Amino acid sequence: AKRQTTNTPIQALIALNDPQFFEASRVLAQNTLKTMKGATDEEIISNVFRCITSRNPGGREKETLLKMYLTQKQKFKTNMQSSIKMITTGQYPVENEIHKGELAALTFMAHTI
């Protein structure tokens, strides 16, 4: 994989839309769902947030992320085409035992964080 380079302010936008970042978000989401079976949505969100930022989310942050996660989870569970498109970026294999809609929603949330 080769990262595009630029010395302009759009570097952040290029990095944000880079497939490597989507893949990293998906792998984090996948590992979280795999290791935290039976956990609540709040626990899952807190774990992902802590992995990315090295701190626990504040009350308002957690509330906002939970609302976003639940909305995305509903959206991706009813639209499998969109889910598959979201989680097939990159080369790391997708676990078959994890629900694709849930993985796509958590990937989206991790990428947002």
- pLDDT tens, residue by residue, 83-96: 888 788 788 888 88
Compare 2 and 88 and report the one with higher pLDDT: 88
**Which residue has 């930022």 as its token pair?**
53
CA dihedral 71, 73, 78, 82 (to 10 degrees): 100
CA distance 43 to 38: 10
pLDDT, one tens digit per residue, over 7-65 is 666 666 666 677 788 899 999 999 999 999 999 999 999 999 999 999 999 999 999 99
3-state secondary structure the chain: CCCCCCCCCCHHHHHHCCHHHHHHHHHHHHHHHHHCCCCCHHHHHHHHHHHHHCCCCCHHHHHHHHHHHHHHHHHHHHCHHHHHHHHCCCCCCCCCCCCHHHHHHHHHHHHHC
pTM of the model: 0.83
